[in-house]
Amino acid sequence: MNNRQSGFTLVEIAIVLVIIGLLLGGVLKGQELVHSATVNNFVNDFRGISAFVYAYQDRFRATPGDDAAAAGHVQGGVAATTPAGATLNNSRINGNWNSVTVTDESYLFWQHIRLAGLATGTPIIGNADYVPRNADGGRIGITGDPVLTAPATPFPGTFFVCSDGIQGRFVRQIDTTIDDGNSQTGSVRALANNVVNQADAANVQPVDDATLYTVCMAY
């Protein structure tokens, strides 16, 4: 009677474990590349929008959104009439960064830079695709109004570019890439998700990786 039992040898088990390790390593590396690409997209948004502002100012000697002569500078351009109390041609983009008021300076900013050929996207006011989105589908916006009303560390800026719906893990990577790595100091700050403004910036820690935030950068 043959009592020999078939099974895996130590060499075969080792080979299987190596293959599993390689597969896991590939998956993790793939995730890392995806995350890096996402962060780069966020960073490019911040840098690109500031470039649009400066390019428009250089060409027309006016600030997009705040341009009283928009109709003369870009065909089809509309001059803002709100928010109340705002003054055109004062080099300040008034209105909430995520404004949905079609007459606000911060809302018409997008029309002006698109009609000027500086940015892609529809210039048609009220169009479903008018509002720009970031790599995770969150909203992107700009304002000259303070986004932090009582910051412990001053957060000065002529204008602020904001982007919401960003996971905490990406917030920290964005800050490390273009600022000081601290979401409460420097030119990049984290706010609660989708708020217009708040008193002070949020302190984003590793435990907050899955929490969504609004990130604003001062210029």
pLDDT of residue 1: 52
What's the average model confidence in pLDDT over 100-105?
98
- Angle (CA) 148 65 54, round 5°: 85
Classify burial at 67, counting beta carbons within 10 Å of its beta carbon; exposed 0-12, middle 13-18, buried 19 or more.
buried
Which H or E element spans position 71?
helix 70-73
Percent of the chain clearing pLDDT 90 (strictly above): 83
Task: Provide the residue ranges of all domains of the chain, joining segments of one domain with +.
Answer: 39-218
Q: Is the pLDDT of residue 29 over 60?
A: no
Name the pLDDT band for 16 (thresholds 50, 70, 90): confident
Q: Is the pLDDT of residue 28 over 90?
A: no
Residues 134-143: tens digit of each pLDDT = 999 999 999 9
Backbone conformation region of residue 128, classed left if phi is above 0, alpha if psi is from -120 to 50, else beta: alpha
pLDDT of residue 13: 79
Q: Is the pLDDT of residue 3 over 60?
A: no
What's the average model confidence in pLDDT over 40-69?
97
Q: Looking at this protein, which amino acid is placed at residue 5?
A: Q
What's the average model confidence in pLDDT over 103-119?
98
Q: Is the pLDDT of residue 108 over 60?
A: yes
Ordered DSSP codes for 162-209: EEEEEEHHHHHHHHHHHS-S-TTSTTEEEEETT-S-BSS-----GGGT
Computed over every residue of the chain, the mean pLDDT equals 93
Residue 63 half-sphere exposure, CB side, CA atoms within 13 Å?
A: 20
Radius of gyration of the chain measured on its C-alpha atoms: 24
Name the pLDDT band for 26 (thresholds 50, 70, 90): low
What's the average model confidence in pLDDT over 46-73?
98
Name the pLDDT band for 164 (thresholds 50, 70, 90): very high
Contacts of 86 (CB under 8 A, 6+ apart): 80, 92, 94, 95, 105
What's the average model confidence in pLDDT over 84-95?
96
Name the pLDDT band for 2 (thresholds 50, 70, 90): low
pLDDT of residue 48: 97
- How do 140-143 and 188-192 pair as beta strands? unpaired
* CATH classification code of 39-218: 3.30.1690
What's the average model confidence in pLDDT over 151-174?
97
What's the average model confidence in pLDDT over 25-54?
84
Residues 178-192: tens digit of each pLDDT = 999 999 999 999 999
Name the pLDDT band for 15 (thresholds 50, 70, 90): confident
